[in-house]
Amino acid sequence: MSDDNGGSHLRLLVIDDEPIVGKRLKQLFTKMGLGVETFTNPVPAMEAMERCPFDIVVTDLKMNGMNGMEVLKRVKDINPEAKVVIITGYAQLDTASEAFRRGVFDFIAKPFRLDELKRVIVKAMSGTLLARRQK
């Protein structure tokens, strides 16, 4: 895996109103060399995104204040290159296809295995790095 080569350049944003999700993902991905910030409320998360765009965003779908779809749209507005991964406790086919239409990188149903998310994030990372290198 290419965890170490340039991982520190990449920034990961985790938005989930379950604080444990943020805590665990921060533990995991910090270890993998990403710069991780976690939020339980999407509104301040978007403010942080505007201040300094993240490369990868992991967001819950159903949240107070703003839902994952809006987060996806805002993130793409700010940084069209950003990879957005949506996780949700209640996956419906129409929501998933809608998300893909709007350019979501992946759509993961809760409860998910850590490996599953790790694989998706690694794929996103390599995609981002590849694009950067091509520039």
Partner 1 sequence: MSLLFLPRTIYGKLILSFSAIFVLSGFAALAAIYSLYSVEGKIGLIESFYGISQKILEVRSYEKNFLLYENRDELVSAMDKLEDVRAIISGRSSQDAINHFVDRGDTKLCLTELDTYSGLMRQLTGPGYDKDGMNNLKVKLREAGHAFMNCTMGLDSAAKEHIAKDVRRYKAVAFVLVILILPMCAFMGIILANWIMTPLRNIRRSVAQVMKGDISSIPVESTKKICVECAELIDALNKMLQTISDKHQQFMQTEKLVALGKVTAGIAHEINNPLNNISLTAEMLMEDLSGMDCDERRSMIRDIVVQVDRAREIVRNLLDFSRPRKPSVWVKVDLRDLLNNTLAFLKNQVRLSGADIKIDIPETPVITMGNPSQLQQVFVNIILNALQAMDGSGALGLKVFLRAGEDRAVVEISDTGPGIPPEVREHIFEPFFTTKSDGTGLGLSVSYGIIKEHKGDISVSSGPGGGTTFRVELPLWYELDRHE
Question: Residue numbers of the site for partner 1 (CB under 8 A)?
Answer: 18, 20-21, 24-25, 27-28, 31, 62, 64, 67, 87-90, 92, 109-114
Q: Show the 3-state SS of 34-103.
A: CEEEEECCHHHHHHHHHHCCCCEEEEECCCCCCCHHHHHHHHHHHCCCCEEEEEECCCCHHHHHHHHHCC
Q: Which is nearer to partner 1, 89 or 131 (CB)?
A: 89
Closest approach, Cβ 110 to partner 1, in A, equals 4
| Cβ-contact 116, 108 below 8 angstroms | yes
Closest approach, Cβ 101 to partner 1, in A, equals 19
Closest approach, Cβ 13 to partner 1, in A, equals 17
| Cβ-contact 96, 68 below 8 angstroms | no
Q: Which is nearer to partner 1, 13 or 61 (CB)?
A: 61
Q: Which is nearer to partner 1, 16 or 128 (CB)?
A: 16
| Cβ-contact 84, 67 below 8 angstroms | no
| Cβ-contact 123, 97 below 8 angstroms | no
Closest approach, Cβ 3 to partner 1, in A, equals 14
Q: Which is nearer to partner 1, 62 or 132 (CB)?
A: 62
